[in-house]
C-alpha cells in the first residue's frame, strides 16, 4: 500500500487517499456506525465514552467536541462518513459547506445559486 | 440475445430523496430539476426495458474502509435500502436478476476485470434516487436491477479511462447473454460538486456542459482525463463522473442523444440528466 501523499495541490481540497484513510480510520469507523439509530443514541448519551470506544485520538476528539468540519477532515475524516455525524445534529451539506467556508448558510446558498447564472 | 437499448445518466443527490417524499415537484426550487424526468420516463415506457444496470458509488452504507472494492457487482435476488444515518426515507427493496448478474460477473472476470461479487448488497441513495426518478413505481413495474458500485470514496479511484473500458467490458458481457432481455445502463452521480474543504460549494458549469456534450459523441476525449484533473475541474465529489463514463462505455451501437437537462444548484451540485439511445 502506498503511504505517500498525492502531492498535486488542488486549492481548498484534501485528497482522501491511503494516508488520510489510515489517519482517519477510527474517526470514520465511528461515523460509519451512525448508520444505526442505536449508535446515534449512544453517542448522544455519552460522547466521550463513545469516542473512547472507537479509539479516536485527542485531535479527533477535540474536533468532534467542537463540531469543526475542517479539523475533522484534517485529522483524516471522510466527508461521506462525516455527513452521518452532521446528520445527528440535523445539519445538511449546505450547513457543513457554510461552516467550512466561513459563510452564513444563506450566503453559502446564494453562492451556489449564482454559479448557475 | 440480450440487447442494450440505451443509457441514462442522472445525478443522485440525497436531498432529491427527501424532495420526492415531500412531493416537491412543483416547488420553485425543485421544478427545473424534476421537469427533466418525464421525458426520460416516457422513453422508458415506450422502450420497456426488462433490466436496469445501475452504476453508482456506495457512500458508506454497504462498504466501509475496512474493505473497499474498486468494482463491485450485485448478484442478489433483491437489494435492500437501509438507514444512511441522516434521515432520508427508507424504501422497499429492489428486485434483482442474479442469473444475468452471474453471466456479467463471469464475462467481466474473463475480460480481466477482477470484480468483487456481492450476494448481499444494501443500496444507498446513489442507487435509490435514480431508480425513484426513472421508475417511480419500481416495485410494481417489474423492472429488475443489477447494482454496480465503483469506488469514488477513497483514492486511488479508478481512472476515467479504466471506467470507460470497464463499461466496454460490461457492454460485451450483456450482449453475449443468450436470453432476449432489453437492458438499460444507468450512470449516476455528478455532476460538479465539492462537499469538503475550503473549496466546499465549488460548481463548474462550463465543465459540466462540456462533459454532457462530449460524452455523447466523443467519450474517448473525456476518458483521457486523470482522476486528479477530474477532481480539479469537477470538485472532489464531482469525480463521480467516472460512473457516467462507465455507462457510456457499455453503449457500443449508434448512440444518439434524445433528452437532456441541467440545473444549478440542487443541494451543492450541478445536476445533470441524459437519455441516450443505443441503436443496433
Q: Which residues contact B129 (CB under 8 A, 6 or more apart)?
A: B10, B12, B13, B14, B16, B17, B20, B188
Asked if B199 lies within 8 A of A28 by C-beta distance, the reply is: no
The whole-number average pLDDT for the span B178-188 is: 98
Domain count across chain A: 1
Q: What is the span of the domain harbouring residue A30?
A: 18-90
Tell whether B231 is within 8 A of chain A (Cβ): yes
- For B97-113, write each residue's pLDDT tens digit: 999 999 999 999 999 99
Interface test with A, best of B89, B158, B197, B231 (most A CBs within 10 A): B197
What are the φ and ψ backbone dihedral angles of B144, each rounded to 5 degrees? -100, 155
pLDDT band at B280, cuts 50/70/90? Answer: confident
Taking the CA of residue A83 and the nearest CA in chain B, the distance in Å comes to: 8
* CATH class of the B3-199+207-252 domain in this structure: alpha beta
55-84 of A, contacting B, C-beta below 8 A: 69-70, 73, 78-84
Is A36 part of any domain? Answer: yes
The chain-wide mean pLDDT, for chain A, equals 94
Tell whether B122 is within 8 A of chain A (Cβ): no
Which residues of chain A does B232 touch, with a Cβ-Cβ cutoff of 8 Å?
A: 10
Facing residue for A12 by CB, picked from B199, B203, B205: B199
Interface test with B, best of A2, A7, A9, A12 (most B CBs within 10 A): A12
pLDDT band at A2, cuts 50/70/90? Answer: very low
ipTM, two decimals, is 0.95
The pLDDT score that the predictor gives to residue A3 is 45
pLDDT band at A6, cuts 50/70/90? Answer: low
CATH of residue A23 = 1.10.700.10
Is A22 part of any domain? Answer: yes
Facing residue for A100 by CB, picked from B85, B198, B264: B198
- CA-nearest residue to A17 within chain B is B155
Asked if B154 lies within 8 A of A10 by C-beta distance, the reply is: no
The whole-number average pLDDT for the span B40-65 is: 98
The whole-number average pLDDT for the span A76-100 is: 96
Is A46 part of any domain? Answer: yes
The whole-number average pLDDT for the span A29-47 is: 98
The whole-number average pLDDT for the span B31-51 is: 98
The chain-wide mean pLDDT, for chain B, equals 97
Is A98 part of any domain? Answer: no
- For A40-82, write each residue's pLDDT tens digit: 999 999 999 999 999 999 999 999 999 999 999 999 999 999 9
The pLDDT score that the predictor gives to residue B150 is 98
Q: Which residues contact B30 (CB under 8 A, 6 or more apart)?
A: B19, B24, B266
- CA-nearest residue to A97 within chain B is B200
Residue B185, all three cell numbers: 445502463
The pLDDT score that the predictor gives to residue B164 is 98
pLDDT band at B128, cuts 50/70/90? Answer: very high
Q: Which residues contact A50 (CB under 8 A, 6 or more apart)?
A: A30, A39, A42, A43
Residue B246, all three cell numbers: 462507465
pLDDT band at B246, cuts 50/70/90? Answer: very high
What are the φ and ψ backbone dihedral angles of A17, each rounded to 5 degrees? -110, -170
The pLDDT score that the predictor gives to residue A7 is 54
| Distance in angstroms (rounded) separating the CA atoms of residues A75 and A31 | 13
Asked if B196 lies within 8 A of A83 by C-beta distance, the reply is: no
Amino acid at each position: 500500500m502506498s503511504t505517500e501523499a498525492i502531492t498535486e495541490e488542488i486549492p481548498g481540497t484534501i485528497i482522501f487517499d491511503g494516508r488520510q484513510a489510515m489517519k482517519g480510520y477510527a474517526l470514520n469507523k465511528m461515523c460509519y456506525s451512525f448508520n444505526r439509530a442505536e449508535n446515534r443514541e449512544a453517542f448522544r448519551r455519552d460522547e466521550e465514552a463513545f469516542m473512547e470506544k472507537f479509539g479516536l485520538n485527542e485531535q479527533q476528539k477535540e474536533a468532534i467536541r467542537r463540531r469543526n468540519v475542517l479539523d475533522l477532515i484534517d485529522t483524516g475524516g471522510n466527508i461521506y462518513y462525516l455527513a452521518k455525524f452532521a446528520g445527528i445534529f440535523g445539519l445538511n451539506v449546505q450547513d457543513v459547506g457554510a461552516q467550512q467556508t466561513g459563510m452564513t448558510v444563506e450566503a453559502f446558498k446564494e453562492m451556489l445559486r449564482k454559479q448557475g447564472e | 440475445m440480450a440487447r442494450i437499448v440505451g443509457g441514462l445518466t442522472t445525478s443522485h443527490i440525497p436531498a432529491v430523496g427527501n424532495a420526492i417524499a415531500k412531493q416537491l415537484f412543483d416547488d420553485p426550487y425543485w421544478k427545473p430539476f424534476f421537469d427533466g424526468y418525464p421525458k426520460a420516463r416516457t422513453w422508458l415506457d415506450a422502450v420497456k426495458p426488462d433490466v436496469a444496470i445501475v452504476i453508482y458509488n456506495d457512500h458508506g452504507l454497504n462498504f466501509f474502509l475496512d474493505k473497499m472494492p474498486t468494482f463491485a457487482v450485485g448478484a442478489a435476488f433483491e437489494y435492500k435500502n437501509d438507514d444512511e444515518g441522516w434521515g432520508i426515507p427508507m424504501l422497499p427493496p429492489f428486485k434483482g436478476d442474479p442469473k444475468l448478474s452471474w453471466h456479467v460477473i463471469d464475462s467481466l472476470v474473463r475480460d480481466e476485470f477482477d470484480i468483487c461479487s456481492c450476494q448481499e448488497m444494501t443500496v444507498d441513495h446513489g442507487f435509490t434516487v435514480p431508480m425513484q426518478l426513472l421508475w417511480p413505481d419500481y416495485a410494481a413495474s417489474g423492472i429488475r436491477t443489477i447494482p454496480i458500485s465503483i469506488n469514488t470514496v477513497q483514492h486511488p479511484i479508478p481512472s476515467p479511462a479504466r471506467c470507460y473500458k470497464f463499461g466496454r467490458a460490461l457492454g460485451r458481457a450483456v450482449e453475449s447473454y443468450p436470453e432476449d432481455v432489453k437492458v438499460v445502463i444507468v450512470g449516476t452521480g455528478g455532476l460538479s460538486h465539492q462537499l469538503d474543504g475550503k473549496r466546499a460549494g465549488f460548481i463548474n458549469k462550463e465543465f459540466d456542459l462540456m462533459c454532457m456534450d462530449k460524452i455523447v459523441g466523443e467519450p474517448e476525449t473525456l476518458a483521457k482525463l486523470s482522476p486528479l484533473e477530474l477532481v480539479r475541474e469537477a470538485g472532489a465529489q464531482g469525480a463521480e463522473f467516472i460512473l457516467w463514463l462507465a455507462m457510456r462505455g457499455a453503449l457500443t451501437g449508434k448512440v444518439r442523444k434524445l433528452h437532456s437537462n441541467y440545473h444549478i444548484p440542487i443541494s451543492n451540485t450541478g445536476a445533470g440528466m441524459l437519455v441516450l439511445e443505443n441503436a443496433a
